[in-house]
Amino acid sequence: MRVFITGASGWIGSAVTDELLAYDHQVLGLARSEESAAALEAKGAEVHRGSLDDVDSLIAGAKAADAVIHLAFKHDFTDYAAAGRSERAAVEGMLDVLAGSDRPFLLASGLAGADLGRALTEDDASPFHGPESLRGGSENLALEYAERGVRSVALRFAPTVHGTGDHGFTARLVQIAQEHGDAGYIGDGSHRWAAVHRADAARLVRLALEKAPAGSRVHAVGEEGVPTRDIAAAIGAYLGVPTVSVPPAEAEARFTWLARFFGHDVHASSARTRELLGWEPTGPTLLEDIAGGAYAAAAGR
């Protein structure tokens, strides 16, 4: 298939691009900078210039492809409502192009906001609706198009997609631990984070593109829930600093915007995804990656 990918040069997207190219798919990657364009061309992907704010460029990319994988998102935590509106406009524009074609539309979603007291499953609907909700309510919007002739699939990524060079949530936790001289967790540290290795996540995306039926939710989850105190302990051991409990009232002061995610219990199952796609994670665990130096760059080493 010829696949239009937004976020094709990003952390997850670059691994997805490599995975698709290795399996003889063609990649048309969105690029807003010369650096991103050069990185895509070096891999053997075709470049489509544009940005998330340029909906016309996204529509053109979707029209030119057999499938769309939407992985890009404006992570502006200073104005998340605006980021949600931008996301919804981008998703709606591409979905309207695909309506009635039965072409695949896969979009990145997440597991945040669950806190169900049990493992979130693929049957649990997203609680987010409307343009100013988390990610603009784009997961529910996309799945509605399954009844409008789009093979829409929600890719629910674990909060930490880890691996060497990761610059996401776990990398920030490493940096915060360095800044404070100790590795903190919130409260008793019983909150859990689902996790998945980057290579496993990329393979899941390819399998979902090839196999997932319209209206599917698939979970990129290798580990159902790693206690946050264990994450902090692994960071502390790697950095050689103590591990400490941070009272919930002080969490925002220490973790800033990350407190809203690190304090949530994001526990999720991928049992049905594994059965549906024949996917089995094989990469290192999160704690193995931390101990093995995957976050050396974040630690300045």
pLDDT tens digits for 17-71?
Answer: 999 999 999 999 999 999 999 999 999 999 999 998 999 999 999 999 999 999 9
Residues of the chain within CATH 3.40.50.720 domain(s) are 2-159+197-222
β-strands 192-197, 223-227 pairing = antiparallel
pLDDT score at 242? 98
Alpha helices in 126-211 (DSSP H): 138-144, 169-180, 198-211
What does the mean pLDDT of the chain come to? Answer: 93
Mean pLDDT of the region 102-128: 86
pLDDT score at 128? 78
Task: Identify the architecture of domain 2-159+197-222 in CATH.
Answer: 3-Layer(aba) Sandwich (3.40)
Cβ atoms < 10 Å from Cβ of 60: 16
pLDDT at 97 over 80: yes
pLDDT at 114 over 70: no
pLDDT score at 76? 62
* pTM: predicted TM-score of the whole model, two decimal places: 0.94
Domain 167-195+224-268+284-291 in this protein, CATH class:
alpha beta
Query: Which are the contacts of 22, defined by CB distance < 8 A and separation ≥ 6?
Result: none
Residues of the chain within CATH 3.90.25 domain(s) are 167-195+224-268+284-291
**Residue type, position 210, single letter:** E
Instruction: Read off the DSSP letter of residue 268.
Output: B
CA distance linking residue 103 with residue 94, whole number of Å: 11
CA distance linking residue 218 with residue 279, whole number of Å: 11
DSSP 75-132: --TTSHHHHHHHHHHHHHHHHHHHTTTT-EEEEEEE-TT---SS-B-TTSPPS--STT
Mean pLDDT of the region 75-102: 85
Q: Which of 16, 12, 1, 295 is nearest to 177 (CA)?
A: 295
Range with the poorest average pLDDT among 123-127, 169-173, 197-201: 123-127
CA distance linking residue 41 with residue 185, whole number of Å: 41
pLDDT score at 208? 98
